[in-house]
Structure 1
Amino acid sequence: MHRRDSKVLIFILKINIFFWCIVSSVLSEDNFNTNKVIIIGGDYDYPPYEFINKEGKPDGYSVELSHAIADVMGFEIEIRLNKWSSARESLNAGEVDILQGMANSKEREHLYDFSPYTYVDQSVFARSGSPSINSLSDLNGHQVIVQRNGLMYDLLNNTSQDITLIPTDTHVAALRLLASGQYDYALVSNLPGLYLSKELGLSNIKPVFNIEGRNKYGYAVKKGNEELLAKFSQGLAILKNTGRQQAIYQKWLGGLNASPWTRLVIFTGVVAVVSLLISIVIIIWNRSLRKKVERRTKELKDQQLQLLHADKMASLGVLVSGVAHEINNPCGILTMNFPFIKDASEELTDLIDELGKESGSLTIAGVRYTQFKDVFPSILDDMHIASRKIRGIVDDLKHFASNDKAHLELNEMVDLNELVSTSIRLVINQIKHATDHFTVDYGDDLPLIKGSVQRIEQVLINLILNACQALDGKEQKIKITTYYQKELKLVIFTIKDHGVGIHKNDLSKLTDPFYTSKREQGGMGLGLSISAGIVRDHQGSLDFKSTQGKGTTVTLSLPLVQTEEHS
């Protein structure tokens, strides 16, 4: 791939991620009923993708992929394999919800929506000694075997070429007819054709011409059922990221790939990366997946939660590094030049004063100079503060997404009581505005802990401000307590408010990035996410207990001694 093409692809990825962030934020688990058994249709004789095995059960790459998606997404499926023409009719009639293997084409796009997971090539198969084929026009005047209602059937049935179509129900029937000496050619999917020729021992037929252009192949639903299709797309993204789809692919298709398929693997990989980056962002906000994880056993739940966290960090790390670079450069220029502009404006004041005296009614930017002179310095100060605030937000984002702890100084000796007192002084105005009943109970003889004073202070301030914002009136209370839990060697900070409380279904999402109940008030949803990351760096924990309408208690626990393997 050329360097210019790579830059274009990266730009498109950024745009896709931005818009998918907006779309996914409005998704709700109520939009999809995970209790419904999803009926999946397919072809009963289309190996190695889907077929009925010797035990009479559905088998193949697509079948195993569907079961894997159902497993990670938490819904139940029933796979019904039939003749391909019957499978399509069942989808159109609403008897099945989704087909697990359909090739995309212009003729089909007005009928179905697609979520591809691979590509298929179409090839002309011929008996040994048959005339060579260099284009589809060479099939004029010949009898060509195709699968009924298949991709090539749709294509050739809508052309004006003089080709006699011999429809069959399956690829197997098409290849056997050709191998037995009947008709001239068979036009079938390349990989199933190679697979079946090998399995059936049809040594007298071979592919002689590949149709130009690959067709996307994957899940298909009737137009308008994007909600169901999105669930399969999300499941595919998880399988791709964990490597499970690749393992299934290697099991069924890896040994069949000849050299022309190398390009397919590369191209599929690019598509997989694009889909993965988009879908990871969706997964972050996907409540239904979280509910599915919670219903699993503790061991599996822990594994999946770790995977989701790794996905989020990887995705946000890439996103934030790009965003931070794009924002910090111009912001740095503004921050660096504001002092120069302010000094210059002060030095020019005397010259402008003289000019104002001469003209008598000098205006600048439509404002009288006497007024401009009073407000201009404060405007410059506000702009300078705003640019530094932008830079601060970007730094917080970088800290949140970074896996590198090198920038944290965790070797300072921290007095938690002193740090709580300092944090209260910094936000005392917000506290007074929120409540008339604020109390602090400092524990006696708290031992010092090792960590970063600045970062722990950031956590404390965030928790105090959250408590203030949870109150409805100044008559409601906030109480802070510190103490030492000797048995576990933990220094504890708790803050209890008597505010609005948090719904039990939202407690598990409090530290998720960009989750906030104060979006309309300008909340970004990063405060608790950043705080949770800081606490993890210190090997501590944050615990939330809340009753809606009665208030919330947050407990911050910090270990007295940190273990070496986590340091």
Structure 2
Amino acid sequence: MKLSLSWLLISFLMTQFAWSLERVGPNGQSQQKRVVHIAADYNYPPYEFTDERGNPAGYNVELSYAIAEVMGFQIELTMTDWKSAYAGLLDGTYDVLQGIAHSEERAKLIKFSSPHSIVNQSLFARKDGPKVDDISEISGHEVLVQNASIMHEYLKQRVPGAIIIPVPTHSDALRLLASGKYDFALTANLPSLYLSKELGLSNIEPIARPVAGQRLGYGALPKNEDLIALFSEGLAILKNTGRQQEIYDKWLGTLDGPKVQWKKLGQYAFYTILVLLVVLGGIMVWNTMLRKEVEKRSRELKAHQEQLIQADKMASLGVLVSGVAHEINNPTGLLMLNIPILKSAWEDALPYLDKQAEEEKDLTLGGLPYQRIKGEIPYLLEEMQNSTDRIRNIVNDLKDFAREQPDEVAHEVDLNVVVATAVRLVDQSIRTATDCFELLLDHRKPTVLGSSQRIEQVLINLILNACDALESKDGSLRVSTSISQDGGEAMIRIVDGGCGIPADVISRLTDPFYTTKRERGGTGLGLSVSAGIIKALQGRLSFDSTEGKGTTVTVTFPLLNQ
């Protein structure tokens, strides 16, 4: 009872919050939620059907509305026959089809969400009709199936000898079978039992072994793959909060047990209530204490989960980087040794080449005129030397970045050095994102007490986020260090001229698993972990952004007194 009341309160608050976001945007203007067009079978109870008042009802229907609620979009639900719904999905009439069974054939055309239920298919027959022990024995028999359903596809592929009779709905198949027409009906077990009871079809029963369970979920065309990601995430939220189980119990749980059990429970209800009244006070006190303890533990676990994930990744990265660094350092060492020798050999050869050039006016080297080669080779050798040094520095930075350091070990950290190293590590990403990059390091060398590895980890994440926000290479990016006016704090600022962040999103940026880049592989862990690292180092992380103009991220640490 308490769980239901808590869920109703949470749902109400979420609805009010979502309504306010929908009605008023960050600029005070009216906004509209995204509308998703969903198709469903009008005659597939208790999963989805049209009730006596003409309204959509059922487990799938209520689940879709619950997902839309938690994920912040609206749905338009069209109830039609299955064949029309499936065809409408393929031709783009509908965005999503709910309650679609997964198959390898369908997966060639459709993207599927994670499943929300498993449906078994059974072979139904009249009690006085023909009998078989296995579905493979129905070759030569007339079998009713719902048109374009998963069992329609199954019979075509697995039992080509069966005489398939497609009909629009499950109820049509069961009525025709009960009336004495055709031999069998291959339909979903639970909807068929439900319809048989509702329609009073007492002369039919399931026979043979059920067909392997089919996974029901949401389906969409590849162009709407982002919608499938939304539905999968919504399903995960509903499952973790217990909301999906409540919907399941409402529509499907009551079908598992006979009604006589409820009558027996009613006989003892009076005596049970008397006992409960005696112990209710103690239970309420114990439940309150236990709930508070569970909430406390849950917050602690949630706070550490993302850092544990990142710690595991960093441990693997350390092993990988050590091996790769060794393989890179070997050829790099040869280059560093050989390039100076080549440079010296070239300088020694110049007098002889100059003399030869005086005698042979058309002297060429490597297919190019000698005078041109003479001017370019020193530059090429110098460029090769600088590039080799750069390779060595990057490898060393990577090794330092991945090296395991215990959190409790803190040391003096020159923010100028850490910032320069982080920029060097992501130099390629910066040059790909913008032609307008600026690095400004405070000459006073701001120094803090902390972990250089952890601060580099934070800076790399923030710089890469800034690069992602830039919409063209004309966008600016500036990274700087400074000391506050009162001399008590050291600051790092990352300023980008990118797309900016909506005002209603800024407060959620450091929430675990929240991301605006999920379709590009974002996990929602980067800023959450970064915020945890900064907090552990007694620092602060703040965001200042204007949508369409850019974002300023400020990292502040207590300045170490020299």
The TM-score bracket by the shorter chain reads 0.5 to 0.7
Q: Distance in 2 between matches of 1:428 and 1:476?
A: 10
The amino acid that maps onto 2:554 is: V
Q: Distance in 1 between matches of 2:120 and 2:462?
A: 61
Q: Distance in 2 between matches of 1:550 and 1:436?
A: 19
Larger radius of gyration, structure 1 or 2? 2
Shift of 1:381: 12
With over 3 angstroms needed to count, the CA separation of the structure-2 counterparts of 1:392 and 1:108, relative to structure 1, is same
What are the equivalent positions in structure 2 for 1:116-515 lying under 5 Å apart?
Answer: 116-117=114-115, 118-128=117-127, 130-156=129-155, 160-161=160-161, 163=163, 165=165, 167-179=166-178, 181-197=180-196, 202-210=201-209, 212-222=211-221, 224-240=223-239, 242-254=241-253, 316=310, 320=313, 323-324=316-317, 327=320, 330=323, 389-395=397-403, 407-409=406-408, 423=415, 438=442, 479-481=482-484, 483=486, 492-494=489-491, 503-505=499-501, 508=506
With over 3 angstroms needed to count, the CA separation of the structure-2 counterparts of 1:310 and 1:184, relative to structure 1, is farther
The amino acid that maps onto 2:161 is: Q
State the partner residue of 1:554: 554
Shift of 1:57: 2.0
With over 3 angstroms needed to count, the CA separation of the structure-2 counterparts of 1:389 and 1:146, relative to structure 1, is same
State the partner residue of 2:336: none
Cα displacement string for residues 82-121 of structure 1 (whole angstroms, at most 9, x for unaligned residues): 2223323433454322211222345545554433514433
User: Does the aligned pair in 1 maintain the 2:143–2:162 contact within 8 Å?
Assistant: no
User: Secondary structure at the residue paired with 1:125?
Assistant: strand
User: Does the aligned pair in 2 maintain the 1:120–1:191 contact within 8 Å?
Assistant: yes
User: Does the aligned pair in 2 maintain the 1:543–1:554 contact within 8 Å?
Assistant: yes
Q: Distance in 2 between matches of 1:457 and 1:93?
A: 51
Shift of 1:81: 0.9
Q: Distance in 2 between matches of 1:161 and 1:69?
A: 42
The amino acid that maps onto 1:535 is: I
What are the equivalent positions in structure 2 for 1:2-13 lying under 5 Å apart?
Answer: none
Shift of 1:78: 0.6
State the partner residue of 1:88: 86
User: Secondary structure at the residue paired with 1:67?
Assistant: helix
User: Does the aligned pair in 2 maintain the 1:423–1:460 contact within 8 Å?
Assistant: no
Shift of 1:58: 1.3
Q: Distance in 2 between matches of 1:310 and 1:224?
A: 36
State the partner residue of 1:533: 532
The amino acid that maps onto 1:98 is: V
Cα displacement string for residues 131-150 of structure 1 (whole angstroms, at most 9, x for unaligned residues): 43123353344443322332
Q: Which one of 30, 35, 38 corresponds to residue 37 of structure 1?
A: 35
User: Does the aligned pair in 2 maintain the 1:34–1:75 contact within 8 Å?
Assistant: no
State the partner residue of 1:97: 95
The amino acid that maps onto 1:101 is: G
User: Secondary structure at the residue paired with 1:175?
Assistant: helix
Q: Distance in 1 between matches of 2:194 and 2:492?
A: 66
User: Does the aligned pair in 2 maintain the 1:463–1:495 contact within 8 Å?
Assistant: no
Taking structure 2 as the reference length, the TM-score comes to 0.53
Shift of 1:321: 6.6
User: Secondary structure at the residue paired with 1:505?
Assistant: coil
User: Does the aligned pair in 2 maintain the 1:462–1:528 contact within 8 Å?
Assistant: no
Q: Distance in 2 between matches of 1:326 and 1:435?
A: 31
Cα displacement string for residues 516-554 of structure 1 (whole angstroms, at most 9, x for unaligned residues): xxxxxxxxx999776532222256521233679999572
Cα displacement string for residues 424-458 of structure 1 (whole angstroms, at most 9, x for unaligned residues): 5888999xx9789946699xxxxxx9x85778987
Q: Distance in 1 between matches of 2:444 and 2:249?
A: 62
State the partner residue of 2:62: 64
With over 3 angstroms needed to count, the CA separation of the structure-2 counterparts of 1:147 and 1:428, relative to structure 1, is closer
Q: Quote the sequence identity (%).
A: 37
The amino acid that maps onto 1:90 is: G
With over 3 angstroms needed to count, the CA separation of the structure-2 counterparts of 1:326 and 1:55, relative to structure 1, is farther
With over 3 angstroms needed to count, the CA separation of the structure-2 counterparts of 1:112 and 1:532, relative to structure 1, is closer
User: Does the aligned pair in 2 maintain the 1:480–1:496 contact within 8 Å?
Assistant: no
Q: Distance in 2 between matches of 1:461 and 1:113?
A: 36
Cα displacement string for residues 305-333 of structure 1 (whole angstroms, at most 9, x for unaligned residues): 99998885576566x17734753785799
Taking structure 1 as the reference length, the TM-score comes to 0.52
User: Does the aligned pair in 1 maintain the 2:38–2:75 contact within 8 Å?
Assistant: yes
Q: Distance in 2 between matches of 1:227 and 1:329?
A: 38
User: Secondary structure at the residue paired with 1:544?
Assistant: strand
Paired residues in the alignment total 402
With over 3 angstroms needed to count, the CA separation of the structure-2 counterparts of 1:83 and 1:434, relative to structure 1, is closer
Q: Distance in 1 between matches of 2:114 and 2:525?
A: 34
Shift of 1:46: 0.6
User: Does the aligned pair in 2 maintain the 1:172–1:196 contact within 8 Å?
Assistant: yes
Cα displacement string for residues 355-412 of structure 1 (whole angstroms, at most 9, x for unaligned residues): xxxxxxxxxxxxxxxxxxxxxxxxx9999987764443334xx78xxxxxxx4339x8
Q: Distance in 2 between matches of 1:111 and 1:476?
A: 46
Q: Distance in 1 between matches of 2:480 and 2:326?
A: 45
User: Does the aligned pair in 1 maintain the 2:178–2:201 contact within 8 Å?
Assistant: yes
Q: Distance in 2 between matches of 1:116 and 1:197?
A: 30
Q: Distance in 2 between matches of 1:426 and 1:150?
A: 60
Shift of 1:219: 2.1
Q: Distance in 2 between matches of 1:330 and 1:437?
A: 33
Cα displacement string for residues 13-42 of structure 1 (whole angstroms, at most 9, x for unaligned residues): xxxxxxxxxxxxxxxxxxxx9854221111
Long gaps (5+) in structure 1: 1-32, 259-304, 339-379, 400-406, 443-448, 485-490, 516-524, 560-567
With over 3 angstroms needed to count, the CA separation of the structure-2 counterparts of 1:409 and 1:71, relative to structure 1, is same
The amino acid that maps onto 2:400 is: G
The amino acid that maps onto 2:163 is: I
User: Does the aligned pair in 2 maintain the 1:40–1:78 contact within 8 Å?
Assistant: yes
The amino acid that maps onto 2:152 is: Y
Q: Which moved more, 1:305-314 or 1:231-240?
A: 305-314
Q: Distance in 2 between matches of 1:456 and 1:157?
A: 59
